[in-house]
Amino acid sequence: DGGITQSPKYLFRKEGQNVTLSCEQNLNHDAMYWYRQDPGQGLRLIYYSQIVNDFQKGDIAEGYSVSREKKESFPLTVTSAQKNPTAFYLCASSTRQSPQETQYFGPGTRLLVL
C-alpha cells in the first residue's frame, strides 16, 4: 500500500534537547512538506522540499531544521531554539511542488515537552 508514514506517534522532549521526527513516503512524490498544528488552529507550514537536496522555509521555520537526502524521506528536527514545541506535526507530500497539487498527509506525530 502506498502512503506516508510518520514516527513516532508520540514524542517527548526534555528542555534543551533536539528531537527528530521521521516522515517517509512511497508514493514517488517529488514534493514534501511539514506542518505544525496547534489546538483550535489551522495548519502552518514549517518547511517544504520540491526535490532532493533542496528545501525552503515556510512561515514558521525558526527553531526547526530539515534535510532531504532521499526522495522518500524528509525528517524534521525540532531544536532547542524552538521555545514552544508542543504541537501536532503533520507531514505531507504531493506529486510536485505546486500549491495547486493535492497534498496527502501522514498520521502525524504529537510532540510534548517534559
Partner 1 sequence: AQKVTQAQTEISVVEKEDVTLDCVYETRDTTYYLFWYKQPPSGELVFLIRRNSFDEQNEISGRYSWNFQKSTSSFNFTITASQVVDSAVYFCALSEGWKGGSEKLVFGKGTKLTVNP
CB 30 within 8 A of CB 97: yes
The reply to whether 106 sits near partner 1 by the rule CB under 8 A is: yes
As a whole number of angstroms, the distance between CA 18 and CA 28 comes to: 29
The reply to whether 27 sits near partner 1 by the rule CB under 8 A is: no
Q: Residue 60 or 80: which CB sits closer to partner 1? A: 60
Contact track, partner 1, 57-96, x by CB under 8 A: -xx----------------------------x-x-x----
Look-up of cell digits 524528509: 74
As a whole number of angstroms, the distance between CA 4 and CA 92 comes to: 7
The reply to whether 22 sits near partner 1 by the rule CB under 8 A is: no
CB 85 within 8 A of CB 113: yes
The reply to whether 102 sits near partner 1 by the rule CB under 8 A is: yes
CB 92 within 8 A of CB 105: yes
The reply to whether 20 sits near partner 1 by the rule CB under 8 A is: no
Give residue 28's region: left, alpha or beta (phi > 0; psi -120 to 50). Answer: left
The reply to whether 48 sits near partner 1 by the rule CB under 8 A is: yes
The reply to whether 16 sits near partner 1 by the rule CB under 8 A is: no
Judged by the rule CB under 8 A, the positions of this chain that interact with partner 1 are 40-43, 45, 48, 56, 58-59, 88, 90, 92, 98-100, 102-108, 110
